[in-house]
Amino acid sequence: MLRNPAAAWDHPALTQVHHRPDQQGYSIRTEKWRYTEWNEGAAGKELYNHECDPAEVTNLAENPEYASVVSTLSKQLQSYSKTYVPEPVEQGK
């Protein structure tokens, strides 16, 4: 990609927010969607359609019309997020 920015790329981008071992969010970003799970979905999920909502105003994750999108992106995301094991946090730091 750095050598040829016009090259085709069909892989999603992944990001992670790690506040503490018990506060983690992982996102997967495709050309159309951004999907996020907070604490593996237990603390919430977010789904945004960047084609018609680039400002991420409307969270579609709980909308039944997008259940298959959530399921597909969740499986892809979890295949990456399960590989991360946080370091223990020492008290006082």
| Residue-wise pLDDT tens digits, 40-86 | 888 899 999 999 999 999 999 999 999 999 999 999 998 877 666 55
Q: How many CB atoms lie within 10 A of CB 63?
A: 12
86 belongs to a structural domain: no
28 belongs to a structural domain: yes
48 belongs to a structural domain: yes
20 belongs to a structural domain: yes
Q: How many CB atoms lie within 10 A of CB 61?
A: 19
Structural domain harbouring 65: 13-81
7 belongs to a structural domain: no
Q: Model-level pTM?
A: 0.78
4 belongs to a structural domain: no
46 belongs to a structural domain: yes
Q: How many CB atoms lie within 10 A of CB 69?
A: 18
| Reduced 3-state DSSP string for 57-71 | CCCCCCCHHHHHHHH
pLDDT band at 91 (very low <50, low <70, confident <90, very high): low
Give the total number of structural domains in the chain.
1
CATH for 23: 3.30.1120.10
Q: Per-residue pLDDT tens for 9-42?
A: 778 888 888 877 777 899 999 989 999 999 888 8
